[in-house]
Structure 1
Amino acid sequence: MAGTRRGKKRAGHETTTVNPPASPLRQARLSLPATLAQVCEKLDSRAKGGSSGVTPGMLSGWERGVRVTSIKYRKILSDFYDSPPETLFAHQDTQLTTPAEQPRLLVGHRDLRDAMADVVRDARRYLAVVGSRSRDATYLEAIHNALAAEPELVHYRVLFGPPRHQVLKDHLLDLLQVRDPHDRSLGLKTLHIGIVEDDPGTPERFFCASESRAVVPIPSLTSSEAFDSGMLFEAGVSERLIDHARQLYAGARKVETAAALRSLPAMPS
């Protein structure tokens, strides 16, 4: 069929690729002009300790909108380019508010637990779990089994304060028997365990996300004491939450040895 198809335009006998317009963040870099590596070098030269933490790959992802830039790096890049964040990162924020997916409400302990277990069982590339209150044996066993069955599945587990239940602490110790967080035999780190220390200014977060789906618990719609309500999201939101977990882990204290985990206090089950 003549005309535009999948980003290509046919004119006569020639086929040309129609590229989407460059994001404001990319336009700012090209206007200098500078390569991705050159921008990172300049950011490093400005940073305390000589490293900003920004890599060419991260910057490319931010420019293309496949990753959302955190508040910290929005400020760094806004200062560097001398441009307000609402301009530089408009392409990212527009994507976040586009109603491309329809979340599904989960009500009832069984529906919530089953949805979270399904997210775990379907994970093939990434599994991010955030929170310190997990105690459902079926759900925790599903995580264990997923890591045992899929050696290349990259798992992030970020705690907010110490485990609230002994069963969660035991689960984390058990994961060390399945995976070595320091192993790189597959070319990458596949187990990440960190803790965000108790801080009144840092709200605890709860979610379970794979590359295809995510479940985010919400306040119970049935009881002030129940854990039985949540929202099920599809791939677009789940990918953002995986990136959220990566950023949390980057700033968390690592607890990736048996000794470090055993030193965490835990309430008895």
Structure 2
Amino acid sequence: MAQLPEAGPATGDPPAPGPARPHLTWQKLTFLPAALVALMLATWLWFERADLDAISRNALAGGQVSKALWQHIELTVISTFFVLVIAIPLGILLTRRRFCRAAPLVRALANMGQATPAIGLLALLVIWLGTGMTPSLIGITAYAVLPVLSNTIAGLKGNDPTLLEAARGIGMSPLGVLRQVELPLAVPLILAGVRTALVLNVGTATLAAFGGGGGLGVLITAGITAQRMPVLVLGSVLTVTLALLVDWLASLAELLLRPHGLKVQT
């Protein structure tokens, strides 16, 4: 195993230490989950004292809340999986010399996907594909590709050329340089893009209800159309809680998966 040299001044002095890696503290680990538990507890206490009529009870009965929550999680997880499968390999491809000329066109298409109003895109997909989860997944995925794609390209292009030349100088193949040097260095930016995409997907998944895709948007739209505040509050609180929880988990993943250093096989 050999450590890749760090770029530094040609004075013979040892390279200056890099920025310290953030540490996980108990405050970071517990503050947001505790706040979310308090929010859910306050919501439950409010429901216990709320006077629910027959329409509200019917909208919340029969496991409909847990079903909507599970559908929302399913929409978020599946769409994020497709975002990763599409955006990261595409970002890698667009930083290679053969395909870099196509990068502006691909990024323009990704920008169009996010610039298009999500509800309008979903409506077009429903007209084309019919109602159900499929058009919702396509719309959510198209809306969240841009941050992961942009961060993958930025992370790979921002790598120190000195480190890449050092890797090639010790006989590493182009694939080895990509796998053992370029991608590990780009991990922080890629994870930041994935975190953004996850939160976007949680929010956009509420619109799946308009296309018959389910999710917590069903509770929100039912509360609005029937003018039942308890149903609307529950759907909104669950959506906000899920988005904050996903963001917290993604922030932990950023800290835990951030590379300590680069070691390559020679």
TM bucket by the smaller chain?
Answer: under 0.3
Q: Which has the higher contact order (CA 8 A, sep 6+)?
A: 2
- Give the TM-score normalised by the residue count of structure 2: 0.26
Q: Which has the larger radius of gyration?
A: 2
